[in-house]
Chains A and B, each alone.
Chain A
């Protein structure tokens, strides 16, 4: 069974740092693209960022509100995804979800491409930024 378990959430003061972890099991983690999504209390979903597999370059992309403050990384030897959060603001208060990124291939004459989506979600970990 594919499983994602987030940890590391807690209470932190504005300007502080926190590192979230996501332990993955039930699939070949090293081949997977992964992402983080957050949800502020009573609000909608907000995509945070994504990391590709190392075989696909291991590159990262981030949403504008967190770019330059948050860093996504992975340790394929530990089947673990990380979210390092620095310079935290009160507006970063949210439940943080780890997800796998699924891919569906679409073929056209002479080329192909992928559709991407977030197909498996963890239960989330809560981060509260408050003085």
Chain B
């Protein structure tokens, strides 16, 4: 199975900060990568697919980049509603896998 490793595991930031989360695949996955946001007690929400395509309705402060094994999710200016846990997920192989998650906390 393809392993996905996110870093950092958690990050403390303030409203207005730029936040970057990285995701590394154990082997090349081209652009078959998605990012999700999950708030406590809620179902995950799709943010980004195909590594850099913004899902309809998602604010433009969210962006994704990367290809191959290294990917990045960037929040350009953190808003109060963005404090949550973020997951990357690969869909390159027959079996899909998630990263372990990155929790974005209030500083």
Chain A residues within CB distance 8 Å of chain B: 35, 37, 44-47, 50, 61-64, 97, 102, 104, 106, 115-119, 121-124
Contact = CB atoms under 8 A, between A and B. Distances in A.
Interface of B: 1, 31-32, 34, 36, 38, 43-46, 49-50, 53, 55, 85, 87, 89, 91, 94-101
A22 B47 CA distance: 23
A89 B1 CA distance: 22
Given A47-B95, A116-B91, A121 B45 contact: yes
A23 to B, nearest CB: 15
Given A47-B89, A47-B96, A62-B95, A118 B32 contact: no
A97 B95 contact: no
B96 A45 contact: no
A123 B32 CA distance: 25
Given A44-B87, A121-B44, A116 B97 contact: no
A44 B53 contact: no
B98 A45 contact: yes
Contacts, number: 68
Nearest to A100: B46
Given A61-B95, A62-B95, A63-B95, A119 B89 contact: no
Nearest to A101: B91
B50 A45 contact: no
10 closest A-B pairs by beta carbon, nearest first, are: A117-B49, A115-B50, A121-B43, A117-B34, A116-B91, A44-B101, A47-B96, A45-B98, A61-B94, A119-B46
Contacts of B46: 102, 117-119
Given A44-B101, A97-B44, A115 B91 contact: yes
Given A104-B50, A115-B32, 7 more contacts: A44-B85, A45-B87, A45-B98, A45-B101, A47-B89, A63-B1, A123-B43
Contacts of B31: 115
